[in-house]
Each structure stands twice: as C-alpha cells, then as structure tokens.
C-alpha cells in the first residue's frame, strides 16, 4: 500500500518517520518482514529530507546518538539496545559510490543478511543489483523551502 505525506517542517518529517517505525513494528509482530535484514531504500534528490527522516527513525527507535549523513564515511552503525528484533540501525549514504560493487567491501553481504539489522540507504540506485529485491522504498521530493513530499511503499 502506498502512502503519500506532505511535511512542512522537521517535526512533521520526524512524525512521518515515527509512523513508518510503527508500521514496521506491526509487520514484525505478524512475522511479515521475511528473512535477513530489513532494508529501506531512500530515493530523492539532495535536500529532499532523507537524512531528516532517518533522524526521526532513530528517535522513534530510541537511538541516543546524534544522526548525521554518512556522506564521507559511507556507513554508520547505531546500536539499538531496547528493540526486541533489531540490534543495529545502519545508515548508508551511497551518493559517493561510483560503481555498485563499491558497497561490497563494507561487508554488505553480511550486513544485509543479518535479521538483527535495519538498514536505511540514501541513494540506493547507486548500489544497483546489490539492493535486495524485496526492500522497502521511500521516495522523497523537494517541493519548496518548507515542504517535502514523502511516499512510502
């Protein structure tokens, strides 16, 4: 089911992220998330709200770390101490990758097959065929200085 949300500020973006976490938690309880890690591809242009959304996700998961885009380090891992399913929230920014195989030296195969991981990837199209076929998709669109459109699939 596709959901479309227009957010007008950071708080609304964080609230949309919290609703996404609530829907994931419901799917987890029902055993509907399959094998391996939960992988979420965050699609959208620069400034469309992807990192802000991940900050809201972290807040909803009660991750205490300061969440910033991992543009230069490519990947950041955050420990999730109190979640019944996930041990790690992994945030990847693939923007700087030039070829899909550049994701592999980061331990991609092990990361994406560990069901204790939830992974959020900015610029997932950069890793192409290495994205799991059943990954969740969220599209972000910059409308104007204040508004963003978020489509959850």
Query: Kind and range of the H or E element at 58?
Result: helix 50-60
Q: Tell me the H-state helices in 73-129.
A: 108-113
- Superfamily for domain range 3-152: P-loop containing nucleotide triphosphate hydrolases (3.40.50.300)
| pLDDT given at position 69 | 87
- Residue ranges of the domains in the chain? 3-152
Statement: the pTM of the whole predicted model exceeds 0.95: no
Residue 30 pLDDT: 65
Which residue do the tokens 């965050």 mark? 42
Distances (CA, A) of 75 to 20, 23, 80, 104, 146: 22, 25, 16, 12, 28
Task: Tell me the C-alpha distance between 121 and 54, whole Å.
Answer: 10
């Amino acid at each position: 089911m596709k959901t479309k949300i227009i957010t007008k500020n950071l708080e609304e973006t964080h609230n949309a992220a919290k609703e996404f976490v609530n829907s994931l938690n419901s799917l987890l309880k029902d055993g509907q998330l399959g094998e391996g890690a939960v992988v979420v591809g965050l699609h959208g242009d620069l400034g469309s709200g992807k990192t802000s959304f991940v900050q809201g996700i972290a807040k909803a998961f009660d991750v205490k770390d300061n969440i910033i885009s991992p543009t230069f380090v490519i990947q950041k891992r955050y420990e999730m101490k109190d979640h019944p399913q996930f041990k790690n929230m992994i945030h990847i920014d693939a923007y700087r990758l030039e070829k899909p195989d550049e994701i592999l030296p980061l331990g991609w195969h092990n990361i994406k097959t560990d069901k204790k991981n939830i992974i959020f990837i900015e610029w997932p199209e950069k890793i192409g065929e290495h994205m799991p076929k059943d990954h969740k998709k969220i599209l972000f669109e910059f409308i104007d200085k204040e508004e963003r459109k978020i489509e959850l699939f």
